[in-house]
Every structure is written in structure tokens, then in C-alpha cells.
Amino acid sequence: MVSADFSVNSGAVFTEAIGNDRLDLLTDYPFTRLANLLAPITPRANVAPVLLTVGEPQHTPPAIIEETLRASASGWNKYPPVGGTPEFRAATGDWLTRRYDLPAGLLHADSSILPLSGTREALFMLALLAVPTQKAGRQPAVLMPNPFYAPYEGATVMAGAEPVFLSATRETGFLPDLDALTPELLERTALFYLCTPANPQGAAATPAYLAKAIGLARQYGFVLAVDECYAEIWLDAPPVGALQVAAKLHETNGLPYADGKPWSNLLVFHSLSKRSSAAGLRSGFVAGDPALIGRFSRLRSYGCAGMPLPILAASTALWRDEAHVEENRAAYRAKFAAAEAELGGRYGYYRPAGGFFLWLEVGNGEEAARRLWAEGAVRVLPGAYLSRSNPGEPNPGEAFIRVALVQDTDTVAQACASIVRILG
């Protein structure tokens, strides 16, 4: 139990056990750990700091945002509905249908999509939706890749489930090895968080991989949550999406579209934070299984703020525009080219399928992060802060740093040159 000192109005000071002790099972959040690691270090004088830690694109946000926010300002004095507006659902439904080549009419936007004030809080809430008291008579398990996006673990622990960290290393193509999952584990699995393109490694799941994951979710009765928030930041070809694969499975099974079940057990998460360089807008959506979406809507009515109407309007316009997304992709391609030119083949550099991270093998990620900050004022994240050790196995992030290519091309090139100069 956590203890805290309270000063009360009477002036009395007392100590009382407070709170949910599950919170103490979590480490500090990765960026808090990084701040603690680097706090004692003062970078060399006369060097401007370069922040490559947070996945927060520094590109100028599209003008559409300001225009639509201004035009819909009358909506600020209204509580927004949990389900958003019909226009938002239509825009995101049309976008999914276009982007993933879904058969016309297969996705019913009104029953299959919910707006989210950023995907982070919904990925967290999802565990409260998906984790039952027990599964197969035991503590439920929640599967996630290792390394992983920190909220997956936080949500799992706070929901009372056991997080199961599935190594996603070079040997497994930087995605969890689905063939290694035992029936014993799958039977008590309540939820599987998958991320494609993966943060941090940028690997994209193939159609066969996603088909297998969807099949397992249906066979063992768990929720498959596919975090596709980097889906629009790709270099050579658009990564396949889980809805796309589910639609194909549905077609090949010969089921009529009208049965309404092409998406069973499946939810996908999309965000404007990376696609539209609009992390501050807090805008995303979840789409998929209408039964799960209905229950999610019910849960969210109790625990979540709806997306404000002006933000729904801005988001609707952004999902209907591709020009700014093309520009973003071109900017990331230039940055990867610049990074590649500076790094050569060092640190196991590879060109990722998607996302905007370099995942560099530097020997000791924490030591490298300290040196880069001290000697070059370059701030990167140690890979171990995104991963966990399983008993008897090395931590799959320990030897890595994550470098977010969120600054402009010249800054990225200079930072990569500093990495080579300092780490050799």
C-alpha cells in the first residue's frame, strides 16, 4: 500500500494508507525514467539540445485545423456525444474503406466507429473493457509485444490482469512470434495488443500474420487490439491493416456481408497525432466489432470525455484530406535518407516499413543515452525503458536506443552525425 502525508486544515499531519496498490507494480513512465537518468548531466556548453525522444512530430500542423476550429467555435459550449457526429463517423468510415480497400458498405460507420480524444486513453480504457474477472478459471492474461507502448502495460496491470511480454526481436521480424503461443496461455488471454507498424521497430505485420492473430482471437475468445497509429507514416508501400485482412477472411469464408460479423473480436486504433502532425489535437478513433464498440461506448459514457464538437469538425476535415499526409510522408522519407547517409550500416540500421523511429543497437542503451546527452546534447530514449525482462531472458530493448525523427531533416542529419561521432 502507498502511504502519504496529509496536511489538513486543522494543521494536524497524519499518515494514511491510500490508493490502489496495483499502481506500484508499474515502473515510472519511460519519459520520467529518462528525465531522472539525464537530470544529473549538463550537456556541453554552446550546443543546442536536440530532442529525439517523444514521438511528437514537429512538422507544422495543417492549416485545416485552425480554419475548421474557427468555423465551428459555436460548439465549444456543448457537451459532445460519446459517439461523435455522423459527419465524423462517415469521414473515418470512408477513409478506412478507401485506405484498406474494403468492400463498399461492409463497414457500418455508425455502429463500428467511436471517436477518441487521442488513442492513448482508449488503449488504456480498453483493458477495463476486455479483461473479465477470470478467464478459463484463472487470472486473465494480456499479451503485448516486447518492447511495447507503455500504456498497454499500465492498462493491463490496473485492470488486474497479468501482462505477458512477447519478445519482438530481429530474430522474430520485430513482431511477436505467434507460433510460440501455447494453448494454455491463449485460453486465459483476454486481450492482445499488437502494434503495426510497430513502435519502436517499425516492422509491419503481413496479411498472413494478421490473419493468424485474428484467427487466434476468434478461436480463443479474446479481443485483438491492433494499434495502427503509425499506419500512415510509411516509406515504400502502405502497410496492410487488420480490417483489410478481416474483410478478406470474411470474403474467402463466403459469408454474406450482411451478417455484420466481419470484424468480430477485432478493434483497430487510428490517430491524427502522427498522420497529421497534430498530437495536441488529441484526436483518434477506434473501429471494428460492433458488439465491442457498443460496450466500449457504454463504458466510455461513464468514464471518458467525448471529443469536443469543434475538434470533431477539424478531425472530420483532416480525415478527408490526403494532401497534407503525402507531404508528411515525403518529409519522413527525406529524414530517413539523411539518417541512412550519416549512419551507414552502423548499429544494425535498417529502413523500417513504417513509423518514424530509428531502433539502433548500440551495446548499452542507457549508457549511450547518457553519453549522447552529455557530449552532444542529443536526447534519445534507452530501449530498455520500452521493454521488460522475462525470467531467464535478456531484456530485448537493453542494447538499443530509440531515436524519433520528429525534427527537420537538417537537425536529424546533424544528430545522426553526432551519434556516429560520439558512439563510434
Ligand X SMILES: Cc1ncc(COP(=O)(O)O)c(C=O)c1O
Instruction: Please count the residues of this chain forming the interface with ligand X, following the rule CB under 6 A.
Output: 14
Residue 293 found at the interface with ligand X (CB under 6 A): no
The 138-157 contact track toward ligand X, x by CB under 6 A, reads -----------x--------
Per CB under 6 A, the list member of 227, 289, 342, 366 interacting with ligand X is: 227
Residue 229 found at the interface with ligand X (CB under 6 A): yes
**Least distance (Å) between residue 161 CB and ligand X:** 19
Residue 373 found at the interface with ligand X (CB under 6 A): no
Per CB under 6 A, the list member of 273, 315, 316, 407 interacting with ligand X is: 273
Closest to ligand X by CB, 232 vs 342, is 232
Residue 195 found at the interface with ligand X (CB under 6 A): yes
Per CB under 6 A, the list member of 199, 277, 407, 411 interacting with ligand X is: 199
Closest to ligand X by CB, 227 vs 366, is 227
Per CB under 6 A, the list member of 120, 188, 300, 388 interacting with ligand X is: 120
Closest to ligand X by CB, 120 vs 248, is 120
- Range in contact with ligand X (rule: CB under 6 A) among 113-121, 154-162, 178-186, 340-348: 113-121
Residue 233 found at the interface with ligand X (CB under 6 A): no
**Least distance (Å) between residue 166 CB and ligand X:** 15
SS3 assignment for the chain: CEEEEEECCCCCEEEEEECCHHHHHCCCCHHHHHHHHHCCCCCCCCCCCEECCCCCCCCCCCHHHHHHHHHCHHHHHCCCCCCCCHHHHHHHHHHHHHHCCCCCCCCCHHHHEEEECCHHHHHHHHHHHHCCCCECCECCEEEEEECCCHHHHHHHHHCCCEEEEEECCHHHCCCCCHHHCCHHHHHCEEEEEEECCCCCCCCCCCHHHHHHHHHHHHHHCCEEEEECCCCCCECCCCCCCHHHHHHHHHHHCCCCHHHCCCCCCEEEEEEHHHHCCCHHHCCEEEEECHHHHHHHHHHHHHHCCCCCHHHHHHHHHHHCCCHHHHHHHHHHHHHHHHHHHHHCCHHHCCCCCECCEEEEECCCHHHHHHHHHHHHCEECEEHHHHCCCCCCCCCCCCCEEEEECCCCHHHHHHHHHHHHHHHC
Residue 288 found at the interface with ligand X (CB under 6 A): no
**Least distance (Å) between residue 271 CB and ligand X:** 3
Residue 118 found at the interface with ligand X (CB under 6 A): yes
Residues that bind ligand X (CB under 6 A): 55, 118-120, 123, 149, 195, 199, 227, 229, 271, 273, 279, 284
